[in-house]
Structure 1
Amino acid sequence: MTGPVLKYQPADFVVRESLLVPMTDRDSAEQRYLLLRKCGFTTMEAVRLIADRFGLLSTEISYGGLKDEDGITEQLIAMPSHSLPPATEVGRWVISADGDRWMELQHYGWGCDPLQIGRLEGNGFRVVVRNLTSDSADRLSGERKLTTFFLNYYDTQRFGVPGGPKRTHLVGEAILDGRWAVALRELSGLRAPESASASAWSGDPKDYFANLDPRTTSFYLAAHSSAQWNKLMVAQVDESCGTEQETVTVDGIDYRYVTSPKATTRVLADSVMLPFTKYRFVEGVPVSSASQRTTVVQTAVSVGQIAEDPAHNGRFCVELRFFLPSGCYATAAIRQLLFYR
């Protein structure tokens, strides 16, 4: 590999979400909050496995946001307070343990309400960047903390699983157009957790999506909106930044990056937000609502010691720590930080 390497191994990418939830005492609680630690599973896949383990419907388990499978992630989930076997309040359950694919639950607290998508404050990240050239290492050397701006693109994990085709947005597009057979065929080829059941489905394609957890179908609709938003962002960069930009291809998807944080702020000055369409899948029908997404995000990055990278001979690695608002992609932020001249 010629460029910086992210997620070389799961421990290189650690995410902990920030979600403040009101708590109550056990006797009056209707929900039990649990800390889900996982590696190798998407949030939606983990929810289905947890539901099967405790005899619940997947819709009875709620969460505040989605976490990818390629890394070690920590997030809250909630389920009805009576769902788990009697245990002390320091209860811990191992749901899966198979090498780099594992997940476990730990008691967090008691509450009255399920969790809701969109209520996260954000996520904290600890990321090891590998395969750095000496020039890239020199640029970061001596920095303890730096402040940077980046374009708030939806990154490639929004459009497919690691190693799989980046086409989740095409599933969403087909659903919106009512092309259910096309949507099912696209989903079958994604290598997503739902792909096997989609491939085996022999009934009406529309019924397949109606039988999914509506949050899963909504994800594919949101992927379509994300692709549309990225196109708007590319057009805005073209308009705002002139020659201070360059096309960068990541996992087969083209992005338009700018060459400096100063150029990024020109986008912000011209357009603070761009329109985004939100979708919910309600009783088999997509329901839309208008929203906005911030074009540029600022963050402070703590920089660790530069060291020789044992995984890439003659190259260097560094640990970066930072916080991002909900909906932002750490991989997009890091790539742009390292792309700046």
Structure 2
Amino acid sequence: MDYREFFSRFKHLSSKQGIGGRIKVHPEDFIVWEEPLPSIFEGRKYAIFLLKKRNWETMAVIKEIAKRAGIDYREIGFAGTKDRHAVTYQYISVPARAKEKVEAVDIKDVELSFVSYGRFIKLGHLLGNRFRIIVRDVAENAFEMTREIFGELHATGGFPNYFGYQRFGERRVVNHIVGKLLLTGDFEGAARLFLGAYDGSMAGDEARRNFWESGDVEKALEEFPRFLRYERTLLHRYKTTGSWKRAFLSLPLPVMRIFIHAYQSYLFNLYLSRRIEEGLPLNEPLVGDVVVQVKGGIPYRDRTYRVTETNLEFVRRKIAENRAMISGPVFGFAMRRARGVPGRLEEEILEGEGISLEVFKRLPKPLSEPGGRRELLLRPTGLAYGYIPGVGMCFRFFLPKGTYATAVLREIMKDH
């Protein structure tokens, strides 16, 4: 199952026909500019560089820069990962002592420009991202179709804020299933899926298929390509411990979190889709909803309050003024739960999955997930679009951190 088939289970908010088309035909069709927090430029311990990359994964290029500059890759800070099949601009921090070495680094399709001194950049140290995206091979009347879709979504309050396919895997759409198996304690099942799932078009698929059919760890260690380093780490660790749980816990924490976060994202997408399917509004508060505060167009997900009969009109005004947004659940053991009809829907999602919030506490503490809330709607700012003859539609917009341009495009293109 590829990501298009996977995403077809999540409902569109717009009922209008999509423009179709293709994205990322060329890296230059998908350009991303990071908007950092101003505070990253405070201090003198680190040198801040603007990193421009083309067709590079963020972690891969960070490690390559570190290798060539002779520093540990963990000394390089960045605020978020960016698309591989794209041209992206983002800020990185390196120790001030390494400034000259980093300036001398020469990597194909990578440019590094010193900006200023500042602090170590951590994940989340950004306001959001600006995008310029070209969609090729669109319908002939794509401009008019886009205008109609935007008109419909303006009336419903914005775009559905789905987690994008990047969370789940573009071809091996299994991250969320591995996450659920880990949370429910089925480490052997998680290992079988992580190591053995294949789609038939990726390097290493034959080795994966052989493991799926035989479960032979020794043979897998002989056959798995070297570039599947996390898979090989898992196999080696199982060989020495005989425990799939210990093997998984030997993986780097960020890798383990990918699986847990993918499952949380899947549950959120299910909730959002069910809400659309049942005709429950996304921009009109219901008693029992939990709303997040919004300031300057940026949602503050740690600032929430519940809608009651008493404050219902107050919340309506706040939402109309774009100072609050209705949220959905990012399930976790300390999540603020909705009540009323929204709360019933949350319960049904958990019951349908056969889990409780307690499962998010079962893993070792660094992996336990408190959960939280996430706004149901996505409101791009600075949105502009136009038709380029012989090319397709061009879109420009800004999105706050933690949201996905592909969620915006999905509603316009209706390609999955």
Question: Structure 2-normalised TM-score?
Answer: 0.61
Q: Are the counterparts in 2 of residues 29 and 111 from structure 1 also a CA contact under 8 Å?
A: yes
Once the 2 structures are TM-superposed, how far is the Cα of residue 240 of structure 1 from its aligned partner? 2.4
Once the 2 structures are TM-superposed, how far is the Cα of residue 158 of structure 1 from its aligned partner? 1.6
Q: Are 2:221 and 1:167 aligned?
A: no
Computing the radius of gyration over CA atoms, which structure comes out larger, 1 or 2? 2
Answer with 193-202 or 37-46: which moved more: 193-202
Distance 2:50 2:250 in 1: 28
Structure 1 equivalent of residue 30 of structure 2: 13
From the superposition, tell whether residues 231 and 132 of structure 1 become closer, same or farther in structure 2 (CA, over 3 Å): same
Structure 1 equivalent of residue 398 of structure 2: 323
From the superposition, tell whether residues 180 and 296 of structure 1 become closer, same or farther in structure 2 (CA, over 3 Å): same
Q: Are 2:380 and 1:302 aligned?
A: no
Once the 2 structures are TM-superposed, how far is the Cα of residue 172 of structure 1 from its aligned partner? 2.3
Distance 2:60 2:116 in 1: 23
From the superposition, tell whether residues 146 and 230 of structure 1 become closer, same or farther in structure 2 (CA, over 3 Å): closer
* Letter aligned with residue 327 of structure 2: M
Of 231, 234, 237 in structure 2, the residue corresponding to residue 199 of structure 1 is 231
Q: Are 2:220 and 1:186 aligned?
A: no
Answer with 74-83 or 224-233: which moved more: 74-83
Once the 2 structures are TM-superposed, how far is the Cα of residue 133 of structure 1 from its aligned partner? 1.1
Of 151, 156, 162 in structure 2, the residue corresponding to residue 153 of structure 1 is 162
Q: Which has the higher helix share?
A: 2
Q: Are the counterparts in 1 of residues 29 and 134 from structure 2 also a CA contact under 8 Å?
A: yes
Of 108, 118, 123 in structure 2, the residue corresponding to residue 111 of structure 1 is 118
- Please list every run of 5 or more consecutive structure 2 residues that lacks an aligned counterpart in the other structure: 1-18, 204-224, 239-243, 290-325, 333-359
Q: Are the counterparts in 1 of residues 268 and 329 from structure 2 also a CA contact under 8 Å?
A: yes
Q: Are the counterparts in 1 of residues 32 and 89 from structure 2 also a CA contact under 8 Å?
A: yes
* Letter aligned with residue 123 of structure 2: I
From the superposition, tell whether residues 275 and 285 of structure 1 become closer, same or farther in structure 2 (CA, over 3 Å): same
Q: 1:92-138 CA deviation, whole Å, 9 max, x = no partner?
A: 6333x2xxxx33332222113x2222332111000001111123233
**Count of paired positions:** 294
From the superposition, tell whether residues 24 and 35 of structure 1 become closer, same or farther in structure 2 (CA, over 3 Å): closer
Distance 1:233 1:141 in 2: 24
- Over the aligned positions, Cα root-mean-square deviation in angstroms equals 3.6
Q: 1:192-231 CA deviation, whole Å, 9 max, x = no partner?
A: 9997113333223445544544223322221111111111
Once the 2 structures are TM-superposed, how far is the Cα of residue 321 of structure 1 from its aligned partner? 0.7
Q: 1:221-266 CA deviation, whole Å, 9 max, x = no partner?
A: 211111111111111112225xxxxxxxxxxxxxxxxxxxxxxxx3
Distance 1:117 1:213 in 2: 16
* Letter aligned with residue 98 of structure 2: S
- Please list every run of 5 or more consecutive structure 1 residues that lacks an aligned counterpart in the other structure: 242-265, 310-316
From the superposition, tell whether residues 146 and 60 of structure 1 become closer, same or farther in structure 2 (CA, over 3 Å): farther
Q: Any idea what SS the aligned residue of 1:7 has?
A: coil
Percent identity, please: 26
* Letter aligned with residue 167 of structure 2: R
Distance 1:195 1:182 in 2: 23
Structure 1 equivalent of residue 208 of structure 2: none
Question: Structure 1-normalised TM-score?
Answer: 0.73
From the superposition, tell whether residues 146 and 76 of structure 1 become closer, same or farther in structure 2 (CA, over 3 Å): farther
Distance 2:226 2:45 in 1: 30
Structure 2 equivalent of residue 290 of structure 1: 371
* Letter aligned with residue 152 of structure 1: N
Of 208, 222, 225 in structure 1, the residue corresponding to residue 261 of structure 2 is 222
Q: Are the counterparts in 2 of residues 42 and 68 from structure 1 also a CA contact under 8 Å?
A: yes
Q: Are 2:271 and 1:232 aligned?
A: yes
Q: 1:53-96 CA deviation, whole Å, 9 max, x = no partner?
A: 33444333222112121211111122322234457xxx36333x
Structure 1 equivalent of residue 352 of structure 2: none
Q: Which has the higher strand share?
A: 1
Q: Are the counterparts in 1 of residues 230 and 251 from structure 2 also a CA contact under 8 Å?
A: no
